[in-house]
Amino acid sequence: MWAGFEVRRRRRSPPLPLALLPTPHSAAPLEQPAITLVSRRWHGVFYWEPAVWRSLQLTATSLQKAATEGQVQEWFAAKGSLLRHIGEFVQQLYYSQMIAKESYMGAGDAVMLDMQQLAADSSSEWQLGSSVLAHLSPASLEWLHLEWASVDAAAAAALVRLSSLTELALDCHGKLPRCAVAALSRMPQLLSLELRFTAFPARLGTALQRLTQLTYLTCSSGSALPELSTVLPLTRLRQLGWVEQRQDGSLQVDLQQLLARLPQLECCRVDSYADILSSLQVWVC
């Protein structure tokens, strides 16, 4: 190290264990991560060490800092480059397409920004299927949570090829697309599935019945769900959540049949509501 004008040689310190490295979930895409500037070795560790990238959160929170169209384009380009480098290492991915941004009316008032819409407005070629899921390794990814995401045909096809995926959560404010339902029916390896949408297509029941390995299932809808008898073939279920909105406020549940046909069921929640103030619930845990 330098001390005045004298060069002294010091003993080389042992490398830090990977467990002490910061998890790069929140690395700002518009800035170079500080750890990569320490040395070439740390630059290589950050981008090429699989243990660093096992779990990744990909959200648009830092996109709020992009004030110009050029910065928005830079943000998407940086994210795309990163995924091309480390996508094969990722075992768990949380992806959120929507962000809440404070409006000019004050801190208590927020507006929702759509990452996909911002990409289109800035002429950035960013799609869930081709820009994100396509760079993930079918042999590595085990857990995936898509929040407020637009699942189109390309994204659905990319989901199907993720053959090691055992835990999947799809959360959106719109209707579950038919292509996503078709993709679910081709993912028999799933052990855990969470679905939260405003409405489900009629073919959902048939798709669920093909997922015979499921041990955890939650379906939450802003409209009526398929008949609860749909889940009876899923004999390995241990936890079940079935939340729906019905205009008549009726509760579709036959507990005796449910418990008899699902012998491994440990916890069950069935919830039916007509509006915010009127609901019927059954909890068995």
pLDDT tens profile 18-45: 444 444 444 444 456 677 777 877 777 7
228: left (phi over 0), alpha (psi -120 to 50) or beta: alpha
pLDDT computed for residue 133 by the predictor: 95
Residue 5 has pLDDT above 90, yes or no: no
Mean pLDDT value across residues 191-215: 91
Is residue 215, in this structure, part of any structural domain at all?
yes
Nearest to 225 by CA among 192, 202, 208: 202
Q: What is the pLDDT of residue 248?
A: 62
Arithmetic mean of pLDDT, 223-241: 89
Q: What residues make up the domain containing 246?
A: 54-284
Instruction: State how many domains the chain has.
Output: 1
The residue length of the chain stands at 285
40 located within any domain: no
- Residue 42 lies inside a defined structural domain of this protein: no
Compute, in degrees rounded to 10, the torsion defined by CA atoms 88, 89, 94, 98.
Answer: -50
Q: What is the CATH number of the domain that holds 255?
A: 3.80.10.10
Q: Is the pLDDT of residue 103 over 90?
A: no
Q: Residue 137 domain-assigned?
A: yes
Across all residues in the chain, what is the average pLDDT?
79
pLDDT in tens, 29-88: 445 667 777 787 777 777 778 888 899 998 877 777 777 888 889 889 988 988 998 999
* Per-residue pLDDT tens over the stretch 154-184: 999 999 999 999 999 998 767 888 899 999 9
Letter for the amino acid at 79? K
Give 233-261 pLDDT, tens digit per residue: 999 999 999 888 776 655 666 677 787 88
Query: Looking at the domain assignment, is residue 47 inside a domain?
Result: no
Give the pTM: 0.80
Whether 27 is covered by a domain: the verdict is no
Residue 149 token pair: 């995401």
**Predicted pLDDT of residue 251:** 61
pLDDT score recorded for residue 3: 36
Domain assignment present for residue 12? The answer is no
